[in-house]
Amino acid sequence: MKLLAVTLAAAAAAVAVPAPAHAHGTPPGEGEYLDYARVVAVEPVYETIRVSQPAEECWDERVHRRGPARRSATPVVVGGIVGGVIGSHIGKGRGRDAATLAGVLLGASIGNDVRERGAPGPARVDYERVCRRVDRVSEERRLSGYHVVYRYRGHTGETFLDHDPGPRLRVRVSVLPAD
């Protein structure tokens, strides 16, 4: 009977002695330990952001063009003939051939200039592809994190996490003396 009383007294004393502060988890520091709280609610939190993406915008634009001028040889030929006639009237004797040749060349050159300054060719309408860079802005809804409500030993707490913690949340518990 004495043995039973001693055993019961020892068991009662063991139950009455408070457990060390780190009995529920790993001791991270003096007077602190890690434990798990029950997650009561998890609500995803979204934010709307503006996203700008470069894009190319293209369209066909109407343009008016002039075709090339007609490249007729007539002004050059007529210029050469007129120049040759004038040159032959200016030159005398043996210089007449040289003056005629000079007149032909000068007249042909003037005729070529007249041809180049002539009326432009026929007008026509073309379409030209025109492009420009623009920024397209859109709004996107993105997950920014989770609002978490948890309960630990009768106390309710809230936090914001970048991930869903699941059914339980690891918490750091601090034990400080009251006095």
Alpha-carbon torsion (21, 37, 169, 142), positive or negative: negative
The per-residue pLDDT for range 138-164, each reduced to its tens digit, is 999 999 999 999 999 999 999 999 999
Residue 68 corresponds to which tokens in the numbers above? 């090339």
**Is residue 122 within 8 Å of 111, Cβ to Cβ?**
no
pTM greater than 0.75: no
What's the average model confidence in pLDDT over 8-32?
A: 48
Burial 108-141 (b: 16+ CB within 10 A, else e): bebbeeebeeeeeeeeeeeeeeeeeeeeeeeeee
The per-residue pLDDT for range 63-92, each reduced to its tens digit, is 988 766 666 677 667 766 876 677 677 767
